[in-house]
Amino acid sequence: MKRRTTLAVISGALAAAGLGVIAGTQPAQPVAGINQPTAATKSNAPAKQLWHCGMHPQVIQDHPGFCPICHMALTPIGHVDHASTTGPGGGTLVTIDPAVVQNMGVRTAKVTRSSLQRSVRAVGVINLPEPAMHDVNLRVGGWVEKLYADQEGMGVVEGQPLFDLYSPDLQVAEQELIGAVKASKASGGLTGGGEEGPTLVESAKHKLALLGIAQQDVDAIAKADKPPATTPVRSPATGHIEDKTIVQGSAVAAMTKIMRIVDHSHVWLEVQVYPNQIDSVKGGLKVRATVEGMPQKEWDGSVSFIYPHLDHMSRTLMLRITLANPGFHLRPGMYATAEIALDPVENAVQVPREAVIDTGDRQIAFVDAGDGHFEARRVQMGVAGEGGTVQILSGLAPGETVVTSGQFLLDAESRTIEAIAMMGGGTAQASANAPAPAPATAPATQSILSVAYCPMAKASWLQRGSDIANPYLGTAMPDCGSVQNTVNAPADARMAALLKAYLDVEKSLSADRLDSSAQTELLARAKKLPEKQYAALRIAAAKLSEAQDLQRAREAFHAVSDQLVSALSKNTGEGAKQ
């Protein structure tokens, strides 16, 4: 009964505290931050002595005893000071003992102002350009006497003979030309003695040209004494043969497509971009393309056409990129990755992307104010840049220092301290004489994790917030997936430390890179869990730590995610029953 009463008091205190900065709720008025003095503080009433658990800091009570979770003896909490907690930027100021900050692994970075380089990565398929396709058709009937272009895929050059054609209709037209030439010579037309002869000759030549005979063959026929037995049909362009429908000796009719000649010197790469990227792309942007099978090669091109409609199934916009193809290494049907260089954003305030926590409703960054003081400040993000940076439209100024790692533990610490202040009538700033909390403090159980699912990869993962950052498809399809469920963050410090390493691995896979230190840390944390209960999780973590490429790392990450989601979902269900 006593334990239930204690837990009820704790739950009420956390609910009154608003469950932290990141949850998006606010404490009771007046709202001046989590360290706002209460009415009890303003009076001369002595501060109340509280006890808490070093392994589960959310467990707080006003008398000595044992933790209801791990049954460790509770330790006394030092009295608190009553200082103002509004930061210079107007946000909530959280003060944490430097020893705790070090244990959290807090890392920081400077807010800068510079040109923000941007690019869009997209995956597409190599196709043949339509203007490079040339069909070979006959305008007379006949028979293929000699076939030179005798196999598909062979290369030909413009003017090269494809086959020799015997055609009675051509024989008649050639005889007319030869007769006109002889008549012109007899009448002196070729020496300027008459006009009718040259007119007949030109008409006969024009007729053969209309029948598809090359000019060089027409001139040769005009010099002959009799029509040749066969007439060569030549290639209209340089390229490779496709769709060949004839063999040696085939009978062909007029208006028949014989074969197609395709020029591979340039190809089209057709890629798809998402609706939120449409405003950034335009014709003429420079593109660099790569294919997985030839990682050392790159092809330069540009955006040559933007389709005027969206694909109604995928809700994406198709872009056409024209690439030069020297050496014919790019072949139709290949998958290629295109990096489209967008116009840079000049004079942009920017920070590392991991410095901003996006809760869906709000975007929060922790500003390091020095001496263990951190200000939780609301910001507004703009466009994402290269190198994992993001534009900040409001909330931060160049020169300020923001936290890039450990923000979630800072938020958890602020919730714990706020709960202490609400129960004891004190403030959130611990006195210099107060003992430092245990190094392995864990986030409060009320922290919410999102369970996201990708239908393309057929896999789930855990993440903070609702903005999808797909670790299985990476930068190729970063937004693929949706949040399917939510679970409570673990209260156990060992599981919380494992979750932190897990989220670091997830962030690196989302950026198409491996973080060996995070993978090793994940395995080390998994080994500290009960072996029998988490055997499958430990095996999956071991495989992840051994992965040397993205494909195997993502396969192992899939197994780790399944085990972790299952464990946290079970804990969430048990907590709901209690």
User: What Rg, from alpha-carbon coordinates, does the chain have?
Assistant: 38
Quote the strand ranges of 32-130, DSSP E: 50-52, 60-61, 75-77, 92-95, 107-110, 112-116, 119-127
Tokens standing for residue 406: 């450990």
The CATH class of 114-118+345-394 is: mainly beta
Q: Which residues pair with 143 in a beta bridge?
A: 166, 251
DSSP code of 132? G
Q: What is the Cβ-side half-sphere exposure of residue 479, based on CA atoms within 13 angstroms? A: 12
**C-alpha distances in Å from residue 118, one per residue of 131, 178, 249, 286, 512:** 32, 68, 59, 12, 17
Domain definitions of the chain by residue range: 2-80+418-424, 114-118+345-394, 119-128+264-341, 130-262, 448-577
- At residue 230, φ and ψ (nearest 5 deg) are -130, 160
> Residue ranges of the chain with pLDDT lower than 50?
1-45, 79-84, 190-193, 424-446, 575-578
Q: How many other C-beta atoms are found inside a 10 Å radius of the C-beta of residue 95?
A: 22
Tokens standing for residue 318: 């198709």
The dihedral formed by the CA atoms of 296, 297, 302 and 306, expressed in degrees to the nearest 10: -80
**Spatial separation of the C-alpha atoms in residues 40 and 421, rounded to whole Å:** 10
Q: What is the pLDDT of residue 73?
A: 85
Cβ contact 382:356 at 8 Å: no
Identify the residue whose tokens are 């204690």: 6
**Spatial separation of the C-alpha atoms in residues 297 and 226, rounded to whole Å:** 56
The residue among 224, 208, 221, 223 whose CA lies nearest residue 170 is 208
DSSP 280-315: G--TT-EEEEEETTEEEEEEEEEEEEEEEEE-TTT-
**Spatial separation of the C-alpha atoms in residues 419 and 52, rounded to whole Å:** 11
pTM of the predicted protein model: 0.51
> Residue 79 region, left (φ>0) first, then alpha (ψ -120 to 50), else beta?
beta
Tokens standing for residue 382: 């703009």
Q: Describe the strand order of the beta sheet including 133-137 as a list of residue ranges.
A: 133-137, 257-262, 239-242, 155-156
Question: 3-state DSSP call for residue 346?
Answer: strand
Domain 119-128+264-341 has CATH 3.40.50.280: no
**Spatial separation of the C-alpha atoms in residues 205 and 215, rounded to whole Å:** 9
Domain 130-262 has CATH 3.40.50.300: no
Quote the strand ranges of 153-263, DSSP E: 155-156, 161-166, 231-234, 239-242, 251-252, 257-262
Q: What is the pLDDT of residue 423?
A: 54
- CA dihedral sign of residues 22, 23, 28, 30: positive
Q: Which residues pair with 273 in a beta bridge?
A: 317
Cβ contact 69:403 at 8 Å: no
Question: 3-state DSSP call for residue 440?
Answer: coil
- At residue 503, φ and ψ (nearest 5 deg) are -65, -30
